[in-house]
């Protein structure tokens, strides 16, 4: 039986980039256009998450797009809810950029909304992206506890603070891509229920 891990988050949060990082063969389309990129849900895998464990990774359409977007927010939300009901994931990964300009109340709203869509038995974890310039990505969570509380994201939520920027854009010797990939794999491994 396959273990389904569904990646969700706002349009442009780095969901498809995260999938490419975890499963390089995916070749999922990514874009820095103002308009959303991923046009439909798609499953990739089996993805090796280490320690002889595997999962299926599901890319999803971006949330919170305006009238300019690929899919207007209420429709994207409805589509994602229907997908989650159909797929019945074993783990939900909420992806959000850790930069001030991307901070929105809707992160907390969507985190909690989709947590309740999948129900209490399905764990939800957070991957914070866009931290390549932070100097101390792992320190991001503890430095932002107050803001996370205000957003309504429980500070006890399991998380990884990383960059999902493609490796070619990162300083070659930084090791950031490798440490980011390993941190997310461990996050998934440690939170994905076993059978």
Ligand X SMILES: Nc1nc2c(ncn2[C@@H]2O[C@H](COP(=O)(O)OP(=O)(O)OP(=O)(O)O)[C@@H](O)[C@H]2O)c(=O)[nH]1
Q: Determine if the peptide bond prior to 166 is cis (ω within 30°).
A: no
- Distances 186 to 34, 69, 119, 125, 141 between C-alpha atoms, Å: 32, 33, 23, 12, 17
Of 7, 51, 9, give the one whose Cα is nearest residue 186. 51
Of 37 and 96, which has the nearer Cβ to Mg ion? 37
**Total residues at the site for ligand X (CB under 6 A)?**
22
Of 62 and 108, which has the nearer Cβ to ligand X? 62
Q: At what angle do helices 73-87 and 105-118 cross, to 10 degrees?
A: 30
Would you count residue 38 as binding Mg ion (CB under 5 A)? yes
CB of 48 to Mg ion, least distance (A): 21
Residue span binding Mg ion (CB under 5 A) among the ranges 38-46, 71-79, 85-93, 177-185: 38-46
Separation of alpha carbons 141 and 170, rounded Å: 22
Binding mask 51-70 for ligand X (x = CB under 6 A): -----------x--------
Residues 69-128 that bind ligand X (CB under 6 A): none
Binding site for ligand X (CB under 6 A): 9, 11-17, 30-32, 36-38, 62, 129-130, 132, 163-166
């Amino acid at each position: 039986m396959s273990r389904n891990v569904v990646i969700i988050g706002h349009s442009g949060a780095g969901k498809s980039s995260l999938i490419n990082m975890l499963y390089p063969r995916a070749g999922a389309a990514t874009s820095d256009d103002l308009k959303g990129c991923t046009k439909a849900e798609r499953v990739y895998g089996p993805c090796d998450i280490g320690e002889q464990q595997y999962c299926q990774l599901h890319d999803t359409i971006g949330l919170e797009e305006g009238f300019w977007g690929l899919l207007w927010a209420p429709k994207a939300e409805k589509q994602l809810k229907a997908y989650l009901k159909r797929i019945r994931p074993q783990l939900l990964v909420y992806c959000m950029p850790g930069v001030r300009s991307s901070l929105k109340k809707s992160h907390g709203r969507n985190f909690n909304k989709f947590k309740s869509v999948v129900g209490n038995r399905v764990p939800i974890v957070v991957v914070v992206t866009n931290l390549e310039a932070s100097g101390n990505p792992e320190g991001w969570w503890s430095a932002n506890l107050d803001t996370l509380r205000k957003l309504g994201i429980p500070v006890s939520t399991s998380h990884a603070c990383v960059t999902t920027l493609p490796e070619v854009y990162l300083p070659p010797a930084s090791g950031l891509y490798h440490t980011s990939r390993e941190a997310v794999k461990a996050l998934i491994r440690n939170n994905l229920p076993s059978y």
